Copies of this chain bind each other. A is one copy, B any other.
Amino acid sequence: MPQLTLADRVADAVRSVTGSGPVGLHEPNFSGNEWAYLKECLDSTYVSSVGKFVDKFEADLAAFTGARHAVAVVNGTAALHVALMLAGVGRDDEVLVPALTFVATACAVAYCGATSHFVDSEERTLGMDARALRDYLGSVAEVRDGQCINRSSGKVIRAMVPMHTFGHPVDIEGLLSVARDFHIVLVEDAAESLGSSIGDRHTGTFGLIGTLSFNGNKTVTTGGGGALLINDTQLAKRAKHLTTTAKLPHRWEFLHDEIGYNYRMPNINAALGCAQLERLPEFLAAKRRLYERYRSAFEGIASVRVVAEPSGCNSNYWLQAILLDESIAGERDSILAATNDSGLMTRPVWNLMHHLGPYRDCPRMALPVAESLERRLINIPSSAQLGMGPSN
């Protein structure tokens, strides 16, 4: 018998969990009330920016996450944009962003006319490294008149946007402490972590504002959609106002008192979201089972481990990932090819932000861990359905 390559062994391990046939990276599941709620939407003719499902989706999100308020918007990128505006980020500010993130985080900073400033990750959480960030800020920044100034650029470091990578919670306590000491506003990019918590508190509720995404590949989808989680009532009112064209309430006049945004989530998308949220506990349980199955399947492959939630945290296991030891990082692309060739959709983690043209010249700290993770991380099929049936 010819010896199997590492790539083949990885593909076999994934296949042992997923069963046969083509397997997507993350497919939604619509076997609940999705159908009924969409029909109700059409029958009522309320499909657009006003409707009872928008209100219900916001209330359901607030109830599930424990945030005092949730404001539904058109997608996660819009949620980040508004969150940064509300955090006071403006032209010529800098914002601390993980180098390892989906590009939306850096885009939202650019929309504000501000500059991303990239932060390294820790391997334990895949998210911003609080200790390394503290040391770095201590050497390059100083607090002056209650603002954190980047001594090199002279700009204000206004906010930080840690992201809970693949749903695994970041070291939020460590980062909140850095934010406090350096007078930086913390906005939580919880786009990937609906259902993830730290202790008994839901991700996205620690910072001034948290943001969610309900894109088609997320744990819960509205087609396209996002939300802001906000505890401060005044701030939540302002978020709703800014995202709904800044129109003042009036029986018939069209008065808009600031430059607003049309970031409203349509009722039809919210209807889908309401049905999906009802299934969330079931999805979370299935995704956790899927992790356990992968962990078993990969036990026999040295130098490859399935990424697990950080201790003290509860991850939603949005995207399952395997991490190669540095010694076999060179095998990453052959593993990607072998799995995709055999109908198993896998992908590497996003290219680091400072490797992308538009963000190449942004300021950054040394990024050894993020750069190592970029070489070694592979996402494997993660749909909740894969953890629902009996194991293969």
Chain A interfacial positions (CB closer than 8 Å to B): 27-30, 34-35, 38-39, 42-43, 45-50, 74-78, 102-104, 107, 110-111, 113, 215-217, 221-224, 245-247, 251-262, 264-269, 272, 336, 340, 346-348, 350-351, 356-358
Contacts and interface: CB of A to CB of B under 8 A. Distances in A.
A169 to B, nearest CB: 22
Main secondary structure of the interface of A (DSSP, over half): loop
B350 A223 contact: no
Contact of A107 (B111, B113, B261): B261
29 contacts: A27-B45, A28-B45, A28-B47, A28-B48, A30-B45, A35-B42, A38-B42, A48-B221, A76-B262, A77-B262, A103-B260, A107-B245, A107-B261, A107-B262, A111-B259, A216-B266, A216-B267, A222-B266, A223-B266, A223-B268, A223-B269, A224-B264, A224-B266, A224-B269, A251-B340, A252-B346, A253-B351, A256-B357, A268-B272
Nearest to A253: B351
Contacts of A265: 224
Residue among A48, A104, A257, A260 having the largest count of chain B Cβ atoms under 10 Å: A48
Stoichiometry, copies per complex: 2
Contact of A223 (B48, B261, B340): B48
Nearest to A107: B259
B253 A110 contact: no
A101 to B, nearest CB: 10
A62 to B, nearest CB: 22
Nearest to A75: B262
Contact of A357 (B46, B49, B77, B257): B257
A78 B74 CA distance: 11
Contacts of A113: 113
Given A74-B74, A223-B266, A252-B347, 11 more contacts: A28-B48, A38-B38, A47-B221, A47-B223, A77-B262, A103-B245, A103-B247, A103-B260, A223-B268, A254-B351, A268-B268
A258 B358 contact: yes
Which 4 pairs show the lowest CB-CB distances between chains A and B? A48-B216, A223-B266, A77-B262, A224-B266
B348 A78 contact: no
A357 B356 CA distance: 39
A224 B74 CA distance: 9
Residue among A39, A215, A221, A223 having the largest count of chain B Cβ atoms under 10 Å: A223
A267 B223 contact: yes
Given A260-B103, A268-B268, A336 B252 contact: yes
A180 to B, nearest CB: 31
Nearest to A254: B350
A247 B350 CA distance: 11
Nearest to A108: B262
Nearest to A336: B252
B255 A47 contact: no
A30 B256 CA distance: 31
Nearest to A218: B48
Nearest to A91: B113
A110 B268 contact: no
Contacts of A262: 75-78, 104, 107, 224
